[in-house]
Amino acid sequence: MKPHLTLAMVALFAGTPAAFAQSATPADIPAVGETKIETETFTRTVPSANRFEIESSKLAQQKNVAADVREFASLMVRDHTKAGEDFKAALEQSQTTASVTASGPALLPKDQAMLDQLKNLDGDEFQAKYIALQTEAHKQALALFSTYAQSGEDPALKEFAKKTLPTLRTHENRIKDLVAARS
């Protein structure tokens, strides 16, 4: 069974970056090479991305997945719930005039599409897709947060981005461990 899972993971990772590159619009996700992100884009993207992390990870906790994946999902729910609270506090201190709330609107289309991909899967299929989507989501989050931390316009939100980056890097490393354990 493990060779099939490994092949599935390789197939998913081979297609994932291209699929996301095609589906992402500049307003939804900044390109990794962007040198500046507008505050409006940041405040619209963060709540949706954060909510995707929580909802997809709650799904992972309910599905038939390996213990290490379930443990990672619990970490995602805990850390991204805290990030949502920190974002709300940063918004309260921010200078932005954007009409956003910490919980944000419904998921952005790209985040909803990723969540929808997971809903009808279970077991190895769910696990492989969850890991692939978490890999891509954290790659995009690191690009968004590091760019805003360097060039953001709003001091409170810039500080939030700087403060959140180490947690996102830890998540990225944990995802790499999950991938390595399955290759």
**pLDDT value of position 2:** 42
Please determine, for residue 137, whether its predicted confidence score (pLDDT) is greater than 60: yes
Cβ contact 112:23 at 8 Å: no
The mean pLDDT value for 59-73 works out to: 95
Question: What pTM was estimated for this model as a whole?
Answer: 0.77
Residues 167, 76: Cα–Cα separation, whole Å: 10
Backbone angles phi, psi at 126, to 5 degrees: -60, -50
pLDDT tens digits, one per residue of 118-134: 999 999 999 999 999 99
The mean pLDDT value for 146-162 works out to: 95
